[in-house]
A and B are shown apart, each in its own frame.
Chain A
Amino acid sequence: MSDPNQDYFAHHTSQPFAWKERKKARGTWRALFESFAYLPPFNRMFGKDSPSYAESYWYCMGGLTFLSFLLLILSGLVLTLFGPTWWQGTYVGYVTKSIHYWTAQSFFFFLFLHIIRVWLTGAYRGKRWLNYAIGFVAFFLSLGENLFGLLARGDWESQFVSMHSDDMLFTIPGLRLISPENFTSALIIHVALIPFVLLILIGVHVTLVKLQGIARPL
């Protein structure tokens, strides 16, 4: 390519579906599973090439964290619609709550692996530090989100943790006005306030990865 700018923006042009060519180049199964990337809106979103070192599964960990986040929102929306009586009193509600629980486990599992991969590859160097910091703020905020989720659950653990934290974390001036045994406010903080901020932070994080590209190898 003669014009370097052309090269850069090539990522953002839509790609033809081109099934036959892809099938020939990648084999039937790969071509089939890769089809989504050649359909709207993804055909304009993803660059189709990547540096070879980034082809390892370690580079999927941020994406799987993101997937878990979407699943958390989805299962959380269902829980929000039907409410505490439903998730505590019915089997389907309990299963939905359990899926939400395990999705949180998956979120943090992949997030820890993501952090390890970012550290070991020194991906925070240079201009990527900003995104590293945004990622970390999102991580700590997720831990807070976890606390309020626990308080909003409405079981024995919520009850005990509300009082135990009331005598520790919530004795601090400023924080002590908060009443952690306030189920209603914990629920609002958990389903509306923190997720809203998290959504923005994670959105900016993922967008920056897209704009800055993946870090060079060490």
Chain B
Amino acid sequence: MKSHTPKNQETTRFHVVPHCFWRYPIVAGIVTVAVILLGMLVGSPNWPQATIKKVTTEQPGGTLWAVAQELDHSSSSYTNTQEYGMINPATRLVVDPLKSASWALAPNVNEALSQFLAQPEQQQVRWAMNYDNSIRKALKMGSMGGAMSTVPVPSLTMLSHLHGDFGPVPVIANGILQLARNGYLQNYFQGISPGNTFEYVNIWLYDQPYLLNTAIKNGLTDDQWGMIKERGFFVGPWYLIIPAIAHVLLPGGSSGPGFVLWNALIAFFFIVLFPLIPGLRDIPRYLKLYKLIYATDNIQHSPLVQSVKRSLGDETNASI
């Protein structure tokens, strides 16, 4: 055996030995069989998508309220207007679908829509805002629900008792509800966006209280460490823990730009600072945890070598 012990006696001593190739097929086989077995026996997260029909059937009051918010420009879909294809949600998600289905709607809905469109935008928004506010008041909500708590959903009975200067907005909202419940709306949204089938469906659904409420109940929003969890499954993407920490714990990390900035900073630290800055890069040497990693050198530790070493005296620090 050649000795490869470097001159510097500080470093771990070693020999060049025949490599343990026999492990490769065995370990690779174990890992391959393990993932196949896990896939077969444990499965993977597979919760069916929510459809417009299902959501509006379960929570029709939420749909009426969402229409009010789309018309008064306070719905979450206003965040998405920069995307290709997306325009003003009041037009895209309320007015256009109703126009497209005028042949199937009751005359009073068509009349309500004409009455609504005949007015300037200011008046349209005022009507919708009155409706929106009176729903909030009936639900005893503040101006904004907290990020972590679910939003209450109004019932149809409750909505039918509301009175105020709503103009044609409640009738319009009921027209959308009707189209949503009989499945027309989902088909319509998918049909007008064949290259991006779920764009308007998901944007529309995200305006409903249903999707976010369900996520909050299941602990799946970003603030609830949802980034590393899966609905209805016990193992999620735990390896997203670094972005998740940036999002949940670091100041400003919950906004888009803050999130990206923190991740870039963390990456910079690990890629550049940690391995290059003197002091920082020496931490592993001081920690000495490499002792847990390195395999013991069987030659250095063989009884023969040990006894030779003992007879020579330790101070020689001999390496064979």
Contacts and interface: CB of A to CB of B under 8 A. Distances in A.
Contacts of A52: 14-17, 295-300
Contacts of A184: 195-197
A146 interface: yes
Contacts, number: 273
- Name A's interface SS: helix
Residue among A30, A121, A160, A177 having the largest count of chain B Cβ atoms under 10 Å = A160
A14 interface: no
Residue among B11, B32, B211 having the largest count of chain A Cβ atoms under 10 Å = B32
A29 interface: yes
B275 A124 contact: yes
A156 interface: yes
Interface in A78-118: 88, 94-106, 108-109, 111-112, 117
B83 interface: yes
Interface string A159-183: 1101110111111100111110111
Given A51-B15, A171-B79, A182-B199, A156 B231 contact: yes
B84 to A, nearest CB: 6
Contact of B50 (A121, A159, A183): A159
Nearest to B194: A184
B239 A112 contact: yes
Interface residues of B, number: 101
Interface residues of A, number: 93
Given A171-B79, A216-B11, 15 more contacts: A52-B16, A52-B297, A103-B35, A124-B274, A129-B275, A160-B214, A164-B221, A166-B80, A166-B206, A176-B82, A177-B83, A179-B85, A182-B195, A183-B197, A218-B284
Interface of B: 4, 6, 11-12, 14-28, 31-32, 34-36, 38-40, 42-50, 76, 79-80, 82-86, 195-199, 201-203, 205-206, 211, 214-215, 220-222, 226, 230-231, 235, 237-240, 242-243, 247, 254-257, 259-260, 263, 267, 270-272, 274-276, 281-282, 284-285, 287, 289-290, 292-300
